[in-house]
A and B are shown apart, each in its own frame.
Chain A
Amino acid sequence: MSFDFWIWVSAFLTLCVFSFLYKDNPFYKFAEHLFVGASNGYLVTIIWHGSLWPQGIRPIFTEGNWWLIIALIIGMLYFTRFFPRTSWLVRIPIAIVMGYGTGAAIPATIQADIMRQIQGTVLTPQNFARWNAGSSGVIWTILLFIGVACTLSYFYFSREHKGVLGVTSRIGVVFIMIGFGAAFGYTVMARISLLIGRLQFLLGDWLGVLQ
């Protein structure tokens, strides 16, 4: 068993959160609020030491980058949100940051999420060879193509799913169910992994019963 102060603090806080499994209680509420407070304390530390001071304020005085004052003023417009008469000014820094991010996202999405995905779906020799499976690669690529096309046909709701569209959307549903089944299987692994991590700490680092 460990006698380190901080290990005991970690173990106590872990058990406070686990107590929620029985029911909501003061220990859990305490732990929850402590988490939010400590996280934000850490956030403030990193914002100041990592960004605001070295990139925003110090260069003004040590490197003469006076134009950064403009950015600082625009940034401080965020705080006008707390004053009703001038709260509309908060839209300015939001517009700048969100506008740039939104603009940059458009070509990124088109290229990475649409064009490259189409390239990976179409029936080309490069795609056949991608599987390193010889002639089976051709079959897998065709199957993938059919799956993508049928999945897309399922999400076409402007026409009733009858006739050819009915058949393709039915095939699409099969692919979707397999995809979601795979996702669920992996999700189970993910959640259990998180529990194992905490138990490894409690049993190993705290109680010292793990070999």
Chain B
Amino acid sequence: MKKRIPLLLVLIFGIAGIIPYYSQYPLVQNVQSFIRNDMIRIIAAFALVLGLGSLLKVHFDKIRRHRENWEYSWVLILSFVVTAIIGLFGGRTGGGMLPTSIGSFVFNIQVIYENVNVPLGSTMFALLAFFMASAAYRAFRARSLDSTLLLVTAFIVMLGVLPLGNRISHHLPSFVQWIMDIPNVASKRGIGFGIALGSVATALKILLGIEQKWLGGTR
């Protein structure tokens, strides 16, 4: 029963997901709207809250057992609590029951997001520029004809997409566009067919109960 009920639900709701593509009857549309708006939307919101709960559990555990870098877990928990309180009680752009400004100094959740989340998130990815340059220098070797072709194409694209490419030759940007439109599309389409067929097969296996790893157990 612990496996059968979830597998049956996956099949039923899977079929429910397929039906709208093949039937536009008002009754079908109404049932679909009910499933999407009055069930799935609310259930999915809890999944996000669950993820949050797991994160907090992991970090409280880390603090309790004094694992490596446990002190920083306090930073995570405190910043979560502070921003959650400001957001929940202060409103999304202020205007809630908790005041989020003192004179001209504003500290609502939108301001916090723009000045804390944005610099942190974007700088973490900005580091990739340095790592990519270093990795390209160390690993990108023209060992064979194939890798040389890859390297030459990369150089042509890197030059051609920029205004410099247009100054080198008016035909260079058009040539890069041609590379993207023909050889690139050809190869990515071929790869894409394989990925699409694989994902359809996996989806069918999940719906039919053949693939059960998501249950957390083995067949």
A and B in contact, CB less than 8 Å = yes
Chain B residues with CB under 8 Å of A33's CB are 72-73, 75-76, 79
In this assembly, does B97 line the interface, its C-beta being within 8 Å of a C-beta of chain A? no
In this assembly, does B170 line the interface, its C-beta being within 8 Å of a C-beta of chain A? no
In this assembly, does A209 line the interface, its C-beta being within 8 Å of a C-beta of chain B? no
Across the interface, B204 reaches (CB within 8 A) one of A30, A38, A106, namely A106
**What is the 8 Å Cβ interface bit string for chain B, positions 109-129, against chain A (1 contact, 0 not)?**
101111111111111111111
Cα(A154)–Cα(B189), bound, Å: 13
Cα(A121)–Cα(B192), bound, Å: 13
Question: Is there an interface contact between A179 and B188, defined as CB atoms closer than 8 Å?
Answer: yes
Question: Is there an interface contact between A187 and B132, defined as CB atoms closer than 8 Å?
Answer: yes
Closest chain-A Cβ to B22's Cβ sits at a distance in Å of 8
Question: Is there an interface contact between B153 and A178, defined as CB atoms closer than 8 Å?
Answer: yes
Across the interface, B196 reaches (CB within 8 A) one of A14, A75, A113, A155, namely A113
Chain A residues with CB under 8 Å of B189's CB are 117, 120-121, 148, 151
Chain A residues with CB under 8 Å of B57's CB are 82
Closest chain-B Cβ to A200's Cβ sits at a distance in Å of 11
Closest chain-B Cβ to A81's Cβ sits at a distance in Å of 7
Q: Which of A18, A30, A68, A91 has the most CB of B within 10 A?
A: A91
For window 10-65 of chain A, which residues contact chain B by CB distance below 8 Å? 10-11, 13-14, 17-18, 20-21, 29-49, 51-52, 55-56, 65
If A21-B130, A178-B183, A194-B125 touch, does A98 touch B149 (CB 8 Å cutoff)? no
Closest chain-B Cβ to A106's Cβ sits at a distance in Å of 5
Question: Is there an interface contact between B80 and A197, defined as CB atoms closer than 8 Å?
Answer: no
Q: Number of residues in A with C-beta < 8 Å to the partner?
A: 115
Chain B residues with CB under 8 Å of A7's CB are 115
Which partner residue on chain B sits nearest A195 by CB separation? B129
In this assembly, does A164 line the interface, its C-beta being within 8 Å of a C-beta of chain B? no
- B residues bordering A, Cβ < 8 Å? 2-3, 5-7, 9-18, 20-22, 35-50, 52-55, 57, 69, 72-73, 75-84, 86-88, 91-92, 105, 109, 111-130, 132, 136, 146-147, 149-158, 161, 178-197, 199-200, 203-204, 206-207, 214-216
- List 16 other contacts, CB 8 Å, given A146-B186, A182-B183: A18-B123, A34-B116, A40-B55, A41-B80, A49-B88, A91-B5, A95-B10, A106-B203, A143-B186, A150-B190, A151-B186, A178-B187, A181-B152, A185-B153, A188-B132, A194-B129
- A residues bordering B, Cβ < 8 Å? 5-7, 9-11, 13-14, 17-18, 20-21, 29-49, 51-52, 55-56, 65, 67-68, 70-72, 74-76, 78-79, 81-82, 88, 91-111, 113-114, 117, 120-121, 131, 140, 143-144, 146-152, 154-155, 172-189, 191-192, 194-195, 197-198, 201
